[in-house]
Amino acid sequence: MKLVVAATGASGALYLKRLLDHLDPAEHEIHLLFTGYARQVWREELGDMPFPQGCVEHGEKCMNAPFCSGSALFDAMVVIPCSMGTLGRVAAGTSDNALLRGCDVFLKERRKLVLVPRETPWNLIQARNIVTVMEAGAHVVPACPGFYSRPQTVEAVVDTVVARVLDYLGIANPGTFRWGCEPDASKVAAARSSGGSASPPDLLEGRSGQESDPPKTVQNSKNCPHEPGSGAS
């Protein structure tokens, strides 16, 4: 896939890092765009961790970036984390930098745009901005982690949100816990070893860790119908 991954100055750099950890530059063409504040937040929250290699990086003010034109074909764009200020400017249709222009282009070309706001609570203006971008075609995925997979690490908690982003992108993530679906044991082991999200063994047998009746409504649990790339509609 041909992707744009952008980040703003909102707190939540770990969401960005974990998404990049799940994207292989050898498999996808990844274009990176960070605002100045995004780099500052990365340093404050993650330290001097290097940015991923094998990606194409663009400056915030570089309006010559290919995704700034609708004639350049891309599959999806993700802004993670997305500050409420950026979301508001997307809602207003401003395009005064490469990130905002990219969002504008993806909306007008009806391409997949995923915005991941972390801030909470919202005021009424922010809520209305979210409605506006959704009506314009964006997918809003608030960074609200899930806990029914019993994540054991901070990275695993973060991955519950990243997994939903990957779902929107249509990128398979076999280590993800999916309700009523039995994961591939080897994939789960690999996800655990990398600090990712995986379901504890007792979740495969029952929600409480005790014996329980098998689900009666789940079919084809070996190949979950919600897994991207499964061939199911």
Residue 217 has a pLDDT of 41
Contacts of 206-210 with CB under 8 Å at 24 or more apart are 207/148
Residues of the chain with CATH 3.40.50.1950: 2-144
- Using CA atoms, how far residue 76 sits from 6, 145, 223, in Å, is 11, 22, 25
Confidence tier at 193 by pLDDT (50, 70, 90): low
Q: Which CATH superfamily is domain 2-144 in?
A: Flavin prenyltransferase-like (3.40.50.1950)
Rounded Cα distance between 56 and 131, Å, is 32
pTM for this prediction? 0.78
Instruction: Using the predicted structure, report yes or no on whether residue 158 has a pLDDT greater than 90.
Output: yes
C-alpha R_g of the chain: 18
Q: Specify the pLDDT at position 8.
A: 96
pLDDT of 136 above 90: yes
pLDDT digits (tens, 9 = 90+) for 2-31: 999 999 999 999 999 999 999 999 999 999
